[in-house]
């Protein structure tokens, strides 16, 4: 039992307070904040503790609420965002993600679209398998016509997601999976290659053990029509695998999931087959299941340079009870989801602050010692979590679908929850706890952010700042230089032992990323959300080796991101690339507007904005970019006039000698009330669309880098606050205000 102490609240960082005010705290109809962070923690604790009275009328829920409050407000454990936002409030929807079935009839498909809208409205994200849909050009008996195939219907889900404003704050996120033996698999692999469609989807190919065996032996494999289970043809497995790798190298998608491994660990095979996961890939779910997640702050489990295993055990047991109570008091958006979730009672207890724990222990992330400890730590949490779940089963009964489950088949003691552990990316809740996300390494040791009044602030990791001051190498100038780079690698002023401990995601080899993912996967019921970072110069063979290593080491899926692969940027000059002439100093002092020739060469780019399609035409002369015109898809209106004004001012700037990248810098990231797209392709306003069009033009026509190296490292600016965006688990999260592009 956790020793009874007076309820307390940990000191929240300025970023944590910002995130809570923007995303979590209760507001009135006028937008005024009605509660403090302490009020929110108490609201959550009271609501979840109240579930105990459903099992024991005499239960002291006040005492339990104090224990939950102390654990959450002390930042030792934090539940997933919907629980923080909605517990004790009218909506009451506490789950982060769901999986919905997509059947092969028009009725089933559009039922799934409707259910998706309801889930996104309630604040959740959705995963789908489109593998049941018959392939394109297949027969449709009811109309004597032909099928349009799964990709065309994915576009319907994408448009519906774009339309529904999720929870009033952010758009919904989806995971789309297609089996590798589906006849349309090659079209699916390429469906996001142009980066112009399905922007509200992460996509992954569902790989089977037989396919991976065919890859190993360079053999053909069969394609199966899901409508009639008949063979429709064959493909070479190695060529298909290579195409997946090439596309992932080019823009990070598709990811891969190993379907047979998901179903090997499916605890309730008699209830159904696992076909898909949540949007970030860590939670395999049956159709109509939901996930209820929460994470232990590992940094808070370190005392005097050692792991407090006793404290970790106590928090694990308390967190399992908390999450089981969440299942009980949750308000599910569909009766089918309530039935399936109550039947299996899956929970996902994970971790965050792993990189911070390693720093406190003095262990480099990319070391054998770290991977061995990661495996040991997660085994401890998994074992203790299962023990806690069995203790609950003794009092409350096992999950209803226990009979025939893997636990029952193995003659194990009854357990309350079909799954107990999951490693989620943690996103904004790790900002609340002021620790690193999930099991990821540090994103940056120091970084620069611009506040609302235009001032530039340097944010430094608190552990690094403390050590730097204690050992006498701290200086504001050094912190600024580190912020520009994001890393302390090869910086002479920083001692070598400190460099080894404060490694970042881009300092670590892709192989070390995968080894860490595999170490945690060995003792995790569900899956591990982890992004494998590659440098921009990584080769296709580098990606291939990591995919194969992930398979050999037992991972359940892989998500990669090659730096700059989703930004159309030119990082070096090569043969045939033309450099834009630079005016000399005298010319810069005397601005002379270039005269327009009668004939100019131009290119037109179609950009999707929240106001509709925007056509951006960029004209250039021998000296470089010359003028810009815009045309809205819907003529007239305020948007069209504002875009015309932007075009005139950009043209004037270019003809007056302003560098194109300076124009991009001023326009990119400007946000309006109606953004469009998702992830790397998100367009936050018409001005942002113009910036992206110019950026694309410069990349395509060999101009100097349209974005600086730092922007590439930090993955662009947050559309809400201008803070850095961190890539994790197929999503992007702002480390300043908590803005997230995924549910």
DSSP string over 312-323: HHHHHHHHHHHH
pTM, two decimal places: 0.80
Q: Can you tell me the mean pLDDT for 13-28? A: 91
Using CA atoms, how far apart are residues 553 and 572, in angstroms rounded to an integer?
A: 36
d(CA 462, CA 446): 9
3-state class (DSSP) for residue 540: helix
Whether residue 501 contacts residue 363, with contact meaning beta carbons closer than 8 Å, is answered with: yes
pLDDT in tens, 35-48: 999 999 999 999 99
Higher pLDDT, 98 or 633: 98
Q: Which of 280, 291, 734, 742 is labelled catalytic?
A: 280
Token representation of residue 45: 């604790």
**Sign of the alpha-carbon dihedral angle for 230, 267, 294, 513:** negative
Is 375 known to be catalytic? no
278 catalytic per annotation: yes
Select the highest-mean-pLDDT range: 391-400, 482-491, 579-588: 391-400
C-beta separation of 717 from 708 below 8 A:
no
Give pLDDT tens digits for 686-709: 999 999 999 888 888 776 444 433
Please give the C-alpha separations between residue 116 and each of 5, 166, 280, 334, in angstroms, as whole numbers: 43, 11, 17, 10
**Is 490 exposed, middle or buried (CB count within 10 Å of its CB: 0-12, 13-18, 19+)?**
exposed
d(CA 723, CA 450): 7
Q: In this predicted structure, which of 160-164, 466-470, 540-544 has the lowest mean pLDDT? A: 160-164
What is the C-alpha radius of gyration for the chain, rounded to an integer number of angstroms?
A: 26
The 10s digit of each residue's pLDDT in 495-528 is 999 999 999 999 999 999 999 999 999 999 999 9
Q: What is the pLDDT of residues 277-325, one digit of tens each?
A: 999 999 999 999 998 999 999 999 999 999 999 999 999 999 999 999 9
How high does pLDDT run on average in the chain? 88
- 3-state SS track over 97-109: EEEECCCCCHHHH
Q: Are 683 and 692 in contact (CB under 8 A)?
A: yes
CATH of domain 97-277: 3.20.70.20
169 token code pair: 């704050």
Residue 564 structure tokens: 């700059």
pLDDT at 140: 84
Contact 22, 440 (CB under 8 A): no
pLDDT at 450: 56
282 in active site: yes
Calculate what percentage of the chain has a pLDDT beyond 70.
88
Measured distance CA(320)–CA(330) in Å, rounded: 15
Q: Using one digit for the tens of pLDDT, what is the confidence trace for 67-99?
A: 999 999 999 999 999 999 999 999 999 999 999
3-class DSSP state of 238: helix
CATH 3.20.70.20 occupies which residues in the chain?
14-94+292-431, 97-277
Residues 6+ apart with CB under 8 A from 226: 104, 131, 132, 133, 134, 182
Q: pLDDT tens for residues 449-501?
A: 655 445 567 789 999 999 999 999 999 999 999 988 889 999 999 999 999 99
Give the torsion through C-alpha atoms of 437, 438, 442, 446, to 10 deg.
10
Which among 547, 552, 598 has a CA at the least distance from the CA of 245?
Answer: 547
DSSP string of 327-386?
HHH---SSHHHHHHHHHH---EEEEE-HHHHHHHHT--TTSHHHHHHHHHHHHHHHHHHH
> How confident is the model at residue 699, as a pLDDT?
81
Query: Cβ(283)–Cβ(424) under 8 Å?
Result: yes
Beta bridge partners of 222: 234
Stretch 133-162: mean pLDDT: 87
Q: How confident is the model at residue 718 (pLDDT cuts 50, 70, 90)?
A: low
Cα–Cα distance, 631 to 424 (Å, whole number):
43
**Of the residues 15, 80, 202, 278, which is catalytic?**
278
pLDDT average, residue stretch 106-124? 93
Q: Exactly one of 282, 289, 726, 728 is catalytic; name it.
A: 282
The dihedral sign for the CA sequence 548, 549, 555, 561:
negative
Q: Give Dmax over CA atoms of the chain in angstroms.
A: 88
Q: For 14-94+292-431, which CATH class? A: alpha beta
User: Does the pLDDT at position 588 exceed 50?
Assistant: no
């Amino acid at each position: 039992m956790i020793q009874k102490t007076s309820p307390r609240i940990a000191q929240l960082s300025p970023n944590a307070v910002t995130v809570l005010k923007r995303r979590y705290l209760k507001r009135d109809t006028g937008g005024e904040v009605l509660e403090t962070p302490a009020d929110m923690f108490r609201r959550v604790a009271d609501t979840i503790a109240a579930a105990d009275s459903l099992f024991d009328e005499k239960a002291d829920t006040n005492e339990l609420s104090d224990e939950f409050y102390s654990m959450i407000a002390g930042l030792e454990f934090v539940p997933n965002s919907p629980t923080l936002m909605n517990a004790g409030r009218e909506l009451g929807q506490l789950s982060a993600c769901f999986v919905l079935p997509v059947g092969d009839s028009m009725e089933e498909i559009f039922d799934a679209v409707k259910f998706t809208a309801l889930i996104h409205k309630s604040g959740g994200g959705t995963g789908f398998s489109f593998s049941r849909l018959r392939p394109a050009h297949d027969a449709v008996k009811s109309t004597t016509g032909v099928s349009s195939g799964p990709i065309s219907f994915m576009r319907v889900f994408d448009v519906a997601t774009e339309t529904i404003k999720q929870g009033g704050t952010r758009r919904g996120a989806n995971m789309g999976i297609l089996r590798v033996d589906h006849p349309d698999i090659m079209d699916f692999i390429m469906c996001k290659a142009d980066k112009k469609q399905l922007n509200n989807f992460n996509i992954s190919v569902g790989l089977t053990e037989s396919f991976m065996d065919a890859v190993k032996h360079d053999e053909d494999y069969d394609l199966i029509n899901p409508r009639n289970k008949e063979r429709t043809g064959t493909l070479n497995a190695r060529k298909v695998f290579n195409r997946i790798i090439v596309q992932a190298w080019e823009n990070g998608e598709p990811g891969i999931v190993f379907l047979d491994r998901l179903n090997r660990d499916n605890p309730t095979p008699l209830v159904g087959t696992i076909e898909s996961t949540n949007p970030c890939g860590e939670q395999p779910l049956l159709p109509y299941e939901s996930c209820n997640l929460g994470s232990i702050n590992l940094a808070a489990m370190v005392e005097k340079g050692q792991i407090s295993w006793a404290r970790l055990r106590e928090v694990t047991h308390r967190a399992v009870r908390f999450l089981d109570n969440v299942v009980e008091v949750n308000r599910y958006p569909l009766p089918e989801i309530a039935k399936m979730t109550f039947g299996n009672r899956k929970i996902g207890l994970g971790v965050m602050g792993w990189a911070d724990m390693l720093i406190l222990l003095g262990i480099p992330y990319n070391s054998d010692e770290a991977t061995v400890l990661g495996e040991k730590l997660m085994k401890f949490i998994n074992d203790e979590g299962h023990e806690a779940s069995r203790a609950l089963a003794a009092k409350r009964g096992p999950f209803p679908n226990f009979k025939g489950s893997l636990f029952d088949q193995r003659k194990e003691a009854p357990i309350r929850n079909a799954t107990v552990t999951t490693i989620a990316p943690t996103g904004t809740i790790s900002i609340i706890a002021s620790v690193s996300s999930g099991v990821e390494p540090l994103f940056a040791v120091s970084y620069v952010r611009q506040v609302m009044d235009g001032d530039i602030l340097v944010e430094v990791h608190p552990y690094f700042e403390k050590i730097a001051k204690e050992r006498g190498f701290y200086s504001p100038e050094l912190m600024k230089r580190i912020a520009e780079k994001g890393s302390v690698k090869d910086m002479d002023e920083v001692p070598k032992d400190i460099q080894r401990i404060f490694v970042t995601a881009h300092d670590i080899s892709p192989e070390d990323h995968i080894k860490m993912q595999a170490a945690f996967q060995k003792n995790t019921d569900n899956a591990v959300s982890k992004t494998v970072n590659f440098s921009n110069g990584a080769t296709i063979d580098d990606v291939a080796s990591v995919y194969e290593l992930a398979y050999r080491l037992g991972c359940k899926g892989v998500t990669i991101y090659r730096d700059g692969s989703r930004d159309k940027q030119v990082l070096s000059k090569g043969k045939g690339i033309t450099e834009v002439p630079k005016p000399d100093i005298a010319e810069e002092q005397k601005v002379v507007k270039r005269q327009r020739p009668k004939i100019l060469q131009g290119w037109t780019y179609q950009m999707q904005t929240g106001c509709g399609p925007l056509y951006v035409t960029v004209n250039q002369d021998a000296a470089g970019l010359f003028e810009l015109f815009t045309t809205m898809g819907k003529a007239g209106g305020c948007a069209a006039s504002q875009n015309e004004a932007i075009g005139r001012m950009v043209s004037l700037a270019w003809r007056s000698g302003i560098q194109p990248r300076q124009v991009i810098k001023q326009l990119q990231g400007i946000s309006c009330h109606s953004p469009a797209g998702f992830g790397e392709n998100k367009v936050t306003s018409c001005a942002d669309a113009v910036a992206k069009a110019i950026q694309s033009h410069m990349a395509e026509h060999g101009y100097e880098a349209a974005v600086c190296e730092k922007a590439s490292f930090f993955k662009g600016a947050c559309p809400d606050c201008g803070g850095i965006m961190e890539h994790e688990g197929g999503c992007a999260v702002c480390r300043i205000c908590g803005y997230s592009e995924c549910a």
